[in-house]
Amino acid sequence: MTQLYHELEPAQEVERELIEKVSIVVSKGSLDGIYPALIMANGARMEGIEADLFFTFFGLDALRKDRQAKIKVATVGNPGLHMPTLVGAIPGMSWVATKMMARQMESLDIPPIGEFLELIHDSGGGIYACHATVEMFGLTEDDFVPQVDGILTVGEFYDRSAGAQIIFT
């Protein structure tokens, strides 16, 4: 019988470069598009890693006073739900999926979006809106929750991100 596994060399100590800074781009306006970024930013801050969130296009809904509480799970065209697109298009399916996800998150003590943004902001994480998107949608600073640290151009975002790992969710 052939040996499937061979003995490995003793582990050698490898010097690894630690991540000191992350910049996370949030472009999707659904719960399943926003929460990964919030979880990653919060986790970074808990590990002492500098973290900035840059919200653009529909991800900006997470920062909008008028839309934050209305964000839902995307049911149409979401392969992660493992349901046919036709089923996801049935009226009320997005509401049902959102309620189910909200209950699961609540049972795991995962905070709602607004509270999560407060945690990240209060821990020193930066929260920024995309200038081009703000202009495209005709928004102003008054449209956003108070945790927004500023409205940045892409160039300003890149300047802030110097030396960071850029993550796109």
Q: Label residue 127 by pLDDT band (50, 70, 90).
A: very high
pTM of the predicted protein model: 0.81
User: Alpha-carbon Rg of the chain, whole angstroms?
Assistant: 20
Residues 157-161: what's their mean pLDDT?
95
Question: CATH classification of 21-69+112-168, choosing from 3.40.1350.10, 3.40.1260.10, 3.40.190.10, 3.40.50.2300?
Answer: 3.40.1260.10
> For residue 1, what pLDDT is reported?
47
Which of 57-66, 94-103, 131-140 has the weakest average pLDDT? 94-103
Q: Hey, where are the domains in the chain?
A: 21-69+112-168
Report d(CA 11, CA 123) in Å as an integer.
37
Q: Considering only CA atoms, which of 95, 59, 49, 43 is closest in space to residue 74?
A: 95
Query: How do strand 165-168 and strand 150-152 relate by DSSP bridges?
Result: unpaired
Residues 136-144: what's their mean pLDDT?
97
